[in-house]
Structure 1
Amino acid sequence: MTTKVIYPHIEKTSADEPARLQRLPRVRVAQIVMDCLAYGWSVEEMCRQHPDLIPSEAHAAMGYYFDHQEDIDSEIRAEWEQAKQAKAQSPRSPFYVRMQAKG
């Protein structure tokens, strides 16, 4: 028998879409997780840094992450790779070019 776990405040409309907050659909679970992983922020600190976020949403996001860690981690890795590629393809600023030329 399989039990379906319900995550209040979290919605995932399809398998290829990232999990998001219901009340703030522009906020992905992965974004909340990245704050926790990158800065070591607690749920309380995340809510202080992001005043629109309420504690129950942050707790739900972290609970979802711990139950779907592999999926969220791969989403974070893909976003990181995309950012690295975009940075590599963007032109260097004039300041950077001058400093590079000076050695």
Structure 2
Amino acid sequence: MDYLAYGWSVEEMCRQHPYLMQSEAHAAMAYYFDFQAEIEQEIRTEWEQVQQEKSLLSPSPFFVRMRAKGLL
């Protein structure tokens, strides 16, 4: 997700996540590139599910107050 969201290199991912070994990050990227279409479809499906569930929720009282004040 760091690669997709931020465009991070393996080296940057390892800097941001010190517990991650470079070999692990390279292996994960290799897997991603081998199955890129399937992984991105799964991400889209999950995103759509979350958006659908969010649309069913009532806004929180905080959100309603902030919108009423013109802050959102």
Q: Which category describes the TM-score, using the shorter chain as reference length?
A: 0.7 to 0.9
Q: Which ranges of structure 1 fall in alignment gaps of 5 or more residues?
A: 1-33
Alpha-carbon shift at residue 70 of structure 1 (Å): 1.0
Relative contact order, higher structure (CA 8 A, sep 6+): 1
Cα RMSD of the aligned pairs, angstroms, is: 1.6
TM-score, structure 2 normalization: 0.78
State how many pairs are aligned: 70
Between the aligned partners of 1:88 and 1:42, the Cα distance in structure 2 is 34
Moved over 2 A (4+): 99-103
- Which position in structure 1 is the counterpart of 2:56? 89
| Cα distance in 2 between the residues matched to 1:89 and 1:39 | 29
Report the equivalent of 2:19.
Answer: 52
Q: TM-score, normalised by structure 1?
A: 0.58
Structure 2 CA distance for aligned equivalents of residues 47 and 86 of structure 1: 33
Superimposed CA distance per residue, residues 8-34 of structure 1 (whole angstroms, 9 cap, x where no aligned partner): xxxxxxxxxxxxxxxxxxxxxxxxxx2
Give the % identical residues: 70
Q: Which runs of 5+ in 2 are unaligned?
A: none
Point out the structure with the larger helix share: 2
- Structure 2 counterpart of 1:25: none
CA distance in 1, matches of 2:55, 2:7: 28
Residue 9 of structure 2 corresponds to: 42
